[in-house]
Amino acid sequence: MEEERIEITGSEAIIRSLIEEGVDTIFGYPGGAIMPVYDALYDYRHKLKHVLTRHEQGAVHAAQGYARVSGKVGVCIATSGPGATNLITGIADALMDSTPLVCITGQVVSGLLGTDAFQESDVVGITMPVTKWNYQITNAEEIPEAIAKAFYIASSGRPGPVVLDLTKDAQFAKMKYSYTKCSNIRSYVDDYRTDKKSLREAADLINNARKPFLLYGQGIVLSGAENELAHFIEKTGIPAAGTLLGLSALPTDHPLNVGMLGMHGNYGPNIKTNECDVLIAIGMRFDDRVTGSIKTYARQAKVIHIEIDPSEIDKNIKTDVALLGDAKWILRLLIRLVEEQKHPEWLKEFQLAIEIEKEKVIDKELNPKKPGLTMAEVVRKVSDLTNNNAVVVTDVGQNQMFAARYSKFINTRSWVTSGGLGTMGFGLPASIGAKFGAPDREVVLFCGDGGIQMTVQELGTIAQEKLPVKIVVLNNRFLGMVRQWQELFFDRRYSFTEIISPDFVKLAGAYGIEGCAVQKREELDSALKNMLKSDGPYLLEVMIEKEDNVFPMVPAGASVSDIILTANEDN
């Protein structure tokens, strides 16, 4: 049968291809070299929601937030030159945190490439080290295939960002349009099927372990293996701890969830890493913020690494058994091979560790004796008031670590943070994307007074979209995390970490966003309730004790067993 192929412009082909891929929301900023696409978008504006951010960095972080919450590919559009270069931070962030993105950038007409034309920059060259794949389209006929490949690559295997650079002439040109989705590229393997022998070996190690310990990362969320993870640990009785990005993959209060790993993670998971006999790592990459010194990391343990990206195997930590492939698939197979077990004594050790941490850290943070508010009590109160149901978005720094430590989760995909790249300014735009990705859920952003000012212009986007995100600014009048390091490791030489901020409530007010500031503990509860009651966007500024520190802490380069519980502790 003769396929119907209608003639349309390259720009319209872009829009129709996006719709074919199930895209309903895109984030972007127009400009000269992408104008034809924006013109085509105008005809499709009722089918494809476009969110105008105030800066391209805002667009890409919003797309990230959208992708992380919805599980779909985040899409953003920018013009050539500065438009494209402004996306770089978000693209690099998405690569580090395995977030599926398709970023479409305009480019000067192909005849002008390499002539230093107005707003020309070598986007394919610049984005090469920070993309999973990129491609320049100079011919309209290539558009459907390139978009199909982009979506397939971005979302399959270990997800990541893709950039399509689209010359202006390709946007204007007419082409015969037809669309076929991509599901296979000869040179690219999107999944592996681990062999039976390795599975058997892993199962034997697990069945014979006396002190097994499981680490879960974002790979669980990306493969949709949350139920399998819970089922697996329930059958084997293995305590599990999450990486920063793994949070919300397993309910916080699950009896076998022993907390968070890493530099500011929980006490038990860190010290027990160096006491377990079998370490099962799933969908995580042994980041240095998780491992501390790799020379002393889990040396006593047999390591099983379940991972879809072969380049992660043995990259940082040598494995005894590597299971390559999709976490969900592998867990399903493993569940059949492992024996039902309980490890009550071993689990008790984690409970004892949590008791120690409670006494030395957590209680002081949640029920402080001092008058100044702590970030921890604000975070926990938000969790309580939202019944642990909110999507929590954070910026980077102390606000992020407190949010990670004290938020509680019931549902997966409830946690959006910049982990690998640690991008300050990520939070506010990411919360916009998160709300579009989960319009029916409460989205609460925790950010610091420093980070919010890096992308504060996105309040304009929130105002224009009347987007009911709840912004909690934890203001300690410092770049808190750097100040903490200065205090602990640089003799309290507070070099340029004191920061002046505008009146955030007034600033929000200038955008027509409702807001309130609280100073005292007595006001906190009702202020948070008011914030959550409000129908629209809301900014709550909470004045925090100026020089609070995040503890526990594994000092950079130290062993995970040398975790410090308090500042004056002689370890």
Partner 1 sequence: MKQEYIITAYSENHIGLLNRITIIFTRRKVNIESLTVSESALKGISKFTIVVNEEEEKVINIVKQIEKHIEVLKAFYYTNDEMIFQEIALYKVPTEALMKSDQIEKLIRQYNARILEITHEYTVIEKTGHKEETQELFDGLYQFGVLQFVRSGRVAITRSPIERLSEFLKERDTLFEKMEAIKML
CA angle 552, 553, 557 (to 5 degrees): 160
Q: Of 168, 302, 408, 435, which one is the catalytic site residue? A: 168
* Residues binding partner 1: number (CB under 8 A): 22
Residues 335 and 235: beta-carbon distance below 8 Å: yes
Comparison of 71 and 310: residue with beta carbon closer to partner 1: 310
Q: Segment contacting partner 1 (CB under 8 A): 303-311, 369-377, 534-542, 552-560?
A: 303-311
Q: How many CB atoms lie within 10 A of CB 482?
A: 17
| Listed ranges 126-134, 218-226, 359-367, 438-446: which one lies at the site for partner 1 (CB under 8 A) | 126-134
3-state SS, one letter per residue, for 60-104: HHHHHHHHHHHCCCEEEEECCCHHHHCCHHHHHHHHHCCCCEEEE
Residue with tokens 């957590």: 362
Binding flag, residue 196, partner 1 (CB under 8 A): no
Interface of this chain with partner 1, residues 140 to 169, rule: CB under 8 A? 153
Rounded CA gap, 311 and 393, in Å? 29
Write the binding mask 308 to 347 for partner 1: x where contact by CB under 8 A, - elsewhere: -xxx--xx--------------------------------
Q: How far is CA 370 from the centre of its chain?
A: 33
Tell me whether residue 162 or residue 378 sits nearer to partner 1 (CB atom). 162
Tokens at 93, concatenated: 């962030």
Selected from 188, 348, 359, 498, the binder of partner 1 by CB under 8 A is 188
Least distance from C-beta 135 to partner 1, angstroms? 8
Which residue in 47, 118, 196, 300 is the catalytic one?
118
Distance in Å, CB of 14 to partner 1, minimum: 21
User: Near partner 1 by CB under 8 A, which window of 61-69, 98-106, 179-187, 250-258?
Assistant: 179-187
- How would you classify the pairing of strands 514-518 and 538-543? parallel
Residue from 3, 4, 46, 187 that binds partner 1 (CB under 8 A)? 187
For 150-176, letters b (16+ CB in 10 Å) and e give bbbbbbbbbbbbbbbbbbbbbbebebe
Closest approach, Cβ 333 to partner 1, in A, equals 12
Q: Specify which residues 259 forms β-bridges with.
A: 241
Pick between residue 53 and residue 136 the one whose CB is nearest to partner 1.
136
Is position 114 an interface residue for partner 1 (rule: CB under 8 A)? no
Binder among 179, 192, 485, 494 for partner 1 (CB under 8 A): 192
> Binding mask 430-469 vs partner 1 (x if CB under 8 A, - otherwise)?
----------------------------------------
Angle, alpha carbons 255-564-214 (nearest 5°):
35
Locate 533 and state its tokens: 């009651």
Q: Which helix (H) or strand (E) holds 163?
A: strand 161-167
What is the side-by-side strand order in the sheet with 470-475? 415-416, 391-394, 443-448, 470-475, 538-543, 514-518
> Is residue 509 close enough to count as binding partner 1 by CB under 8 A?
no
Contacts of 351 (CB under 8 A, 6+ apart): none
Which segment (182-190, 268-276, 398-406, 537-545) binds partner 1 by CB under 8 A?
A: 182-190
56 is catalytic: yes
**Residues in touch with partner 1 (CB under 8 A):** 124-125, 128-129, 132-134, 153, 184-189, 191-193, 309-311, 314-315
